[in-house]
Structure 1
């Protein structure tokens, strides 16, 4: 994906919706670190993404981002298994805003509704997403994106508009 690539409107709608979000990176020895995120926002025009994580749950991931600035984030809708992966090479950690805190609360409510479609009780979802501690934001520009939905299309590069 070229440096001026953008997330298209359809993909932006998907990744900002009721999707499971896992952010991952690796250290200098290529050992992975990952954490469940608490929401995503796409900048107007699709040139940047921000995912929210609980700092205490993401210590290793945040250290790796400070070290190498690489991140991969997978977004999966549980009721359909549709999955998209977005990667970036300029990730940075920024303070979560009041808007981000509201986004995380709305995200948790949306996931309650989404997981109810497949029979997961609300209390279990709220426990899974109970982010106790400070939320921080990981902001990055997309450098590549892929279909990760299981099946014959898995791994296909998503073409991004300029």
Structure 2
């Protein structure tokens, strides 16, 4: 299966950008929550987002019921944004092996948010989550879109011209 995400998109997601996760119920009512961490496989075929269970009950219920997920990754300083979607997301418990990804995400977000004027304490508080409250949601992207403000916003990534 060809990758939907090019190396530049994988690098953007791996760098640790603001991550918003959404789904919907059977009546198409949306649910949304900020992730407290995210990581992507080197080949771009598998993405994991980390959510606080206590704050994401409706979102997690919608993902469990439908498998549908949409995740927006946005770089705070540049507003460069990518959205990925899937229809077969699965939830799992947090593993000890997830800790490095969570730490990398926090450090990267602290650096990115500092570029727009907020200190590391702000980002640490925003992403603070007891590890026992976290759940991992994994999926393989089935569609990907450029959501950066500008002339290509909304276009599927595969249809864009290479620069």
Answer yes or no: is the 8 Å Cα contact 1:16–1:39 preserved in 2: no
- Aligned residue number for residue 58 of structure 2: 60
Q: Choose 27-36 or 76-85, whichever is displaced more.
A: 27-36
CA distance in 1, matches of 2:43, 2:114: 32
Aligned-pair Cα RMSD in Å? 1.5
Cα 1:80–1:44 change in 2 (3 A) is: closer
- Aligned residue number for residue 154 of structure 1: 153
Residue aligned with 1:159, SS: helix
Residue aligned with 1:78, SS: coil
Residue aligned with 2:21, SS: strand
Instruction: Give 1:8 shift.
Output: 2.7
CA distance in 2, matches of 1:73, 1:5: 20
Answer yes or no: is the 8 Å Cα contact 1:73–1:87 preserved in 2: yes
Between structures 1 and 2, the one with greater helix share: 2
Alignment of 1:1-162 (within 5 A): 4-6=1-3, 7-132=5-130, 133-159=132-158
Instruction: Give 1:121 shift.
Output: 2.1
Residue aligned with 2:106, SS: helix
Q: Choose 61-70 or 109-118, whichever is displaced more.
A: 109-118
Answer yes or no: is the 8 Å Cα contact 2:69–2:87 preserved in 1: yes
Give the aligned length: 157
Task: Give the TM-score of the pair, scaled to structure 1.
Answer: 0.90
CA distance in 2, matches of 1:44, 1:60: 30
Unpaired stretches in structure 1, ≥5 consecutive residues: none
CA distance in 1, matches of 2:111, 2:45: 29
Task: Give the TM-score of the pair, scaled to structure 2.
Answer: 0.89
